[in-house]
Each structure stands twice: as structure tokens, then as C-alpha cells.
Structure 1
């Protein structure tokens, strides 16, 4: 914890550095934060428990932290711009301290067809084998494993992975 140094005249703590409130506003200026994420960042910056608590209370009073809004925006942005699937988004939100019911509600906003289209586009991009190579059973199995792994790492559900990988390989084979 950061300990405030006493001033030279002994009149109390030296507040020459930024306050927890200033640090919180700078963090929010970069991007939205969850409550847990904000608290963790302030603690990591060395503010005392009292400073963090007072700042969190003030952030609540000003309605600057809203885990529901944060989760919905995170899902929308990461799904659209980073091609993340539901499983990856669930993991990300949990690491940011979002409650399971809020996570589930935010994930329900993902259209299953949009998720499938994102997975299909990613699989098409990642498929490096041409139609002639995919005629070989061993290379086709290798392509299947690689694509399944790539989609799995992006957090797509197993049923989406299976369907999309089969479709992409079949489309490439059939020209």
C-alpha cells in the first residue's frame, strides 16, 4: 500500500501525487471498467483501502461504473471487432469480476447466426490448403485439427466449430 509521506512541517500527509479519484478518472478515460477491475487497478497503484473505498463510493454516486452496461458493451465490441465466441467472452468477463447472471444476460445478445458467420469467416481465412491438397485424407484431417483449434482458442462453442469446419473444408474441396 502507498503510504502518504508526512510534510516537512509535520502537518500531515503530503498529497503531491494524483488522488485515487484522479487515477480512476484517467482509467475511465481510456475505456470503461468493471467495478472489480477499477478496484483492483486502484489497489495496484498503491492507494490505501480507505482511499479506494471512498473513490468507489464517489464513482457510484456519479454513476460512472455499471457492470451491466460494461458487460453488454464488452460483448458487443469484442464479438464484432475481435471475432470472439461466447466461451471466450464469458472467460474475459469473469476475469473482470462480472457476476455470472450479468454475463449470461450479456451473452444472450449474441445472435447465433452472427456467431456462426464470424466463425466461418475466420475459418476461411485460416484455411491454407487448396482443393487438391484437401483431396488427401491426411491433409484434410490436419486442416480440420488446425481450424478446430483456431476456432476453439477464439472461444466458439463445439457445435459451431464442428459445423463450420466441415462446411469450410467442403466448400474449398468443391471449389
Structure 2
């Protein structure tokens, strides 16, 4: 098997001292970890075979995928599915993506349960979303059904959902002042349903706010 050049430099990266730039024939070829350098036995003057080149590039792609994912996570929490979609748009192959995300999960950077709880708490704090709406928004972010359901239930377990729905309905009623009662009832029901409240909660609120004899 032929060689593709000689390693002419192994330089620690200024932004991250755990990463090493690999230079072949004077040109920077890749970035790998310090551990990669040791496990592959990389050294200056070493001939780079096609097999070694392939492995260096594979590990370099893994480094880049993790770096991109971490930069995205620095902006806000993301689900595993969101990160997977993002890395795919950046051209990483499936194996690299799965390996990178698996490593980040083991390190605690990717945690769908924690992400779901945090986002559900954020939505619940706004006081405008019921459990179904929170569940749906988590699913839109790619959170697994069972994790989304558990997060929605957990953050709203101590909340008075009927009181929350009533506050929203009372605000909405001002915009329906000139609407006949059947239409008002129908629109208010649809409004609360879109907010993610269950039928029993909605019916209770409507019974309190809209007298049956109107």
C-alpha cells in the first residue's frame, strides 16, 4: 500500500490544548485529540499510509462534529434529534453523527430528559400552555414521546390547570364581547384546546364563565 506523504508537524491548537493539528507535507490536514495522537502513534517524520490517512480523517471528522454540536449547545439546550438534524446539514455522515452524539451523551452534554424538563418548565412558567401543548412542542423538537409526556406531567403536576385555563379564557372573552353565545362558546373551546388543555378542564371553565341559560 502506498503512502500519501510525511507528517511534518503536530501542533497543539491555541483555542483547545487537547486538540492537535496534523500537518502532512507542510499543510494542515486535520485536527485530532491528544489521545488520538497517542493511540495512532503519530509522530513527525512518519509516513502516512492510505489506511492511516483514512483513520486520521475519520477521527478528525468526529472532533469537528462534536465541536459544532457543542457550539450549538452553547446557545441553548437542544434535543438529540435537533443536534442530529443540524450535523446532517453540515455534511457529516450517519456513523460520525451517532458516534459524536453518543460520546456527548456519556459526558452529559446531550440529555433529552433534562432538555425536556427545562423547556417544559419554560413553557409552563409563561402560563399559556396546557399539558397537551407542552407535549406537542417537545415532540416538535424531536423528544421521544415517553420523555415528552413525563416532562409535561412533571412540570404541571402541582399546577392548577383549571385556574390557568380560566385566566386565559377571561382574557380571551374581551375579544368576543360582541359574539353570540354559541359562537363564543365554540371559539373559546377551540382557543383553550389549541393551548393544550384537556376537554374536562375546558368544559369546567366554560361552565363557570358562560352560564348555560345564556
Q: 1:21-60 alignment to 2 at 5 Å?
A: 21-60=66-105
Root-mean-square deviation (Å)? 2.9
* Structure with greater helix share of residues: 1
Relative to total residues, which structure has the larger strand share, 1 or 2? 2
| TM-score, scaled to structure 2 | 0.62
Partner of 2:106: 61
* Alignment of 1:163 onto 2:204: yes
Q: What per-residue deviation string (whole Å, max 9, x for no partner) do you get for residues 102-158 of structure 1?
A: 23322322137522222111111111244xx5xxxx711111111111111111111
Distance 1:165 1:81 in 2: 22
Counterpart in the other structure of 2:125:
80
Residue of structure 1 equivalent to 2:157: 111
Q: Which has the higher contact order (CA 8 A, sep 6+)?
A: 1
Please identify, of 44-53 and 118-127, the stretch whose mean Cα deviation from structure 2 is larger.
44-53
- 1:61–1:151: structure 2 CA closer, same or farther, 3 Å change rule? same
Out of 126, 136, 159, the position equivalent to 2:172 is 126
Question: Which residue does the alignment assign to 1:96?
Answer: 141
**CA contact under 8 A between 2:127 and 2:164: conserved in structure 1?**
no
Q: Which residue of 2 aligns with 1:145?
A: 186
How many pairs were matched up? 156
Q: Structure 1 residues 82, 113: CA separation in 2 closer, same or farther (over 3 Å shift)? A: closer
* Cα distance change, pair 165–102 in 1 and its aligned pair in 2 (3 A): same
For the residues of structure 1 that align with 2:194 and 2:161, how far apart are their CA atoms? Answer: 14
Say which one has the larger Rg: 2
For structure 2, which runs of at least 5 residues remain unmatched after alignment? 1-23, 31-56
Show structure 1 runs of 4+ deviating over 6 A.
none
Q: Deviations over 1:3-50 (max 9, x none)?
A: xxxx9x9985798xx932232122212221111221122112322224
Match in the other structure for 1:3 = none
- The 1:28–1:163 alpha-carbon spacing in structure 2 relative to 1, beyond 3 Å, is same
Gaps of 5+ in 1: 1-6
Q: Distance in 2 between matches of 1:26 and 1:44?
A: 15
